[in-house]
């Protein structure tokens, strides 16, 4: 069932020495743990003062952390549990079947694992994922109708949640009130279903390497294994899972849109040693031709389209093996 990590990346494991470890080693098992700011979104439906306080807390969490947790978010537990069940079933197929181009009838390269560009263990992600463009949902084969239905139910709700939070965060930034309605139709976003198999080298490789998200916002549902870490004030901090909450984090596009009022924070996932970990990530994205620019002047970034941003990321990955991100567009 598991991808052949050791077999495929044999040379990286053979070349692994103490000297190859980087300065990040001492932080692999960060001792600091935090509970992200917890926001009850039901308060948005209450009287004016309560609503305004909730909005203030959302903006404060996004500004100070780049991450927040939300409860009463509008996505029923039945929908989450249904998709989690279907996700597990999809990953339980043999590796060779999952790696077939026509598995689930998704677009090419929708199934991903490891990191083909890795030149050392620190660049290897001990995980596998189905990266599903929402335009592909209708293509999922009849044999997986229940998976298709679960994905659709979840992404419809997640899209509405992301839009509501994005509009709150965009208040007073000079962004048009119709910006997200006009530029982020549901079909331009993505769902990533992740599985992190047990890893015998959990002190040497990541489950998911440090990165920022190339979206406006990401809505994350994870099981209670733990392992998510974020970089705050130069230190990696463990994020304590909350079974009742979804995690929302700022992506690269919102950092530019807000002119750094909100930051896209680097985060990573540690590889679990003895258990498997699952997560669902919904990436709230615009159309490829959407122009990303800050209305706050002077702007720190030159404007670009989402297509140009994705193209630059691919160029950087091919050239350096790493994502440079929004710093490419600094003025």
Return the beta strands (E) in 97-148 as ranges.
111-113, 128-133
Find the DSSP H helices in 208-290: 252-257
DSSP 330: B
- Tens digits of per-residue pLDDT, 158-204? 999 999 999 999 999 999 999 999 999 999 999 999 999 999 988 88
Q: Give the Å distances, CA to CA, from 129 to 25, 242, 277.
A: 25, 22, 12
What's the full length of the chain, in residues? 331
pLDDT (0 to 100) of residue 321: 76
Active site residue 277: yes
From the list 139, 268, 277, 328, the catalytic residue is 277
pLDDT (0 to 100) of residue 31: 63
- pTM for this structure? 0.94
Q: Is 249 exposed, middle or buried (0-12, 13-18, 19+ CB in 10 A)?
A: buried
Q: Give the Å distances, CA to CA, from 78 to 83, 85, 150, 235.
A: 9, 11, 10, 36
Nearest to 328 by CA among 110, 316, 153: 316
SS3 state of residue 282: strand
pLDDT higher than 90, residue 107: no
Buried residues in 76-100 as b, exposed as e (16+ CB within 10 A) = eeebbebbbebbeebbeeeeeebee
pLDDT (0 to 100) of residue 17: 53
């Amino acid at each position: 069932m598991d991808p052949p990590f050791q077999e495929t990346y044999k040379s990286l494991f053979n070349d692994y020495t103490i000297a190859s470890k980087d300065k990040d080693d001492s932080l692999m098992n960060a001792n600091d743990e935090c509970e992200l700011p917890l926001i009850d979104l039901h308060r948005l439906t209450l009287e004016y003062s309560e609503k305004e306080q909730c909005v203030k807390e959302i903006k404060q969490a996004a500004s100070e952390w780049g991450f927040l947790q939300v409860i009463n978010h509008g996505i029923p537990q039945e929908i989450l549990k249904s998709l989690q069940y279907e996700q597990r079933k999809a990953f339980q197929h043999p590796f060779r079947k999952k790696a077939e181009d026509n598995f689930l009838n998704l677009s090419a390269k929708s199934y991903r694992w490891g990191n083909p560009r890795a030149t050392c263990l620190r660049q290897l992600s001990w995980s596998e994922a189905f990266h599903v463009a929402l335009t592909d949902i209708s293509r999922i084969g009849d044999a997986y109708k229940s998976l298709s239905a679960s994905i659709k139910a979840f992404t419809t709700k997640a899209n509405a949640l992301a839009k509501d939070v994005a509009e709150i965060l965009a208040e007073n930034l000079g962004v048009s009130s119709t910006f997200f309605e006009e530029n982020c139709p549901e079909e331009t976003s993505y769902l990533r279903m992740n599985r992190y198999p047990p890893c015998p080298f959990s002190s040497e490789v990541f489950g998911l390497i440090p990165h920022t998200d190339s979206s406006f916002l990401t809505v994350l549902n994870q099981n209670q294994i733990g392992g998510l870490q974020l970089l705050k004030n130069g230190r990696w901090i463990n994020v304590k899972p909350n079974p009742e909450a979804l995690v929302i984090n700022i992506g690269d596009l919102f950092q530019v849109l807000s002119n750094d009022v909100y930051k896209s924070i680097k985060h990573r996932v540690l590889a679990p040693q003895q258990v498997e970990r699952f997560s669902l990530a919904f990436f709230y994205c615009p159309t490829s031709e959407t122009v990303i620019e800050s209305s706050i002047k002077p702007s720190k970034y030159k404007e670009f389209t989402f297509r140009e941003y994705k193209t630059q990321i691919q160029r950087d990955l091919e050239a350096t093996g790493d994502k440079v991100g929004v710093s490419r567009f600094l003025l």
